[in-house]
């Protein structure tokens, strides 16, 4: 699946497993993906991008230090938080 033009920095599944979120700090972009499979897990799996958001640029000091990379944390089946190294948080809804 072509998710981002740049490298994916973080990704996380929602608690119910129905959504995947991917984030690229190269693009400053967060995308929501809807995941599904056939009936009872049989048949072809499908994943499609349902929403994308532009995010604030990440400073170069963060880009050069993998320990400070942003993280994604789901707080419900529909809401994910992009946690930045400086302690700021940005909420997004699927």
8-37 pLDDT, tens per residue?
999 999 999 889 999 999 999 999 999 876
Considering the entire predicted model, what is its pTM? 0.82
Tell me what the mean pLDDT of segment 64-68 comes to.
82
As a whole number of angstroms, the distance between CA 35 and CA 12 comes to 12
pLDDT at residue 80, as a whole number: 97
pLDDT at 24: 94
Closest CA to 94 of 48, 39, 31, 44: 31
Phi, psi of 31 (to 5 degrees): -125, 140
pLDDT at 66 over 90: no
pLDDT at 30: 96
Calpha distance 9→68 (Å, rounded): 11
Decide: helix, strand or coil at residue 40: helix
Q: pLDDT per residue over 35-64, tens digit each?
A: 876 566 566 667 889 999 999 888 887 878
């Amino acid at each position: 699946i072509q998710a981002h033009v740049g490298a994916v920095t973080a990704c996380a599944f929602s608690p119910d497993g129905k959504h995947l979120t991917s984030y690229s700090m190269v693009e400053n972009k967060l995308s929501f993906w809807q995941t599904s499979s056939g009936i009872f897990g049989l048949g072809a799996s499908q994943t499609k991008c349902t929403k994308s958001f532009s995010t604030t640029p990440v400073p170069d000091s963060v880009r050069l230090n993998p320990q400070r990379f942003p993280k994604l944390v789901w707080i419900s089946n529909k809401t994910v938080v992009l946690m930045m190294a400086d302690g700021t948080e940005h909420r997004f809804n699927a």
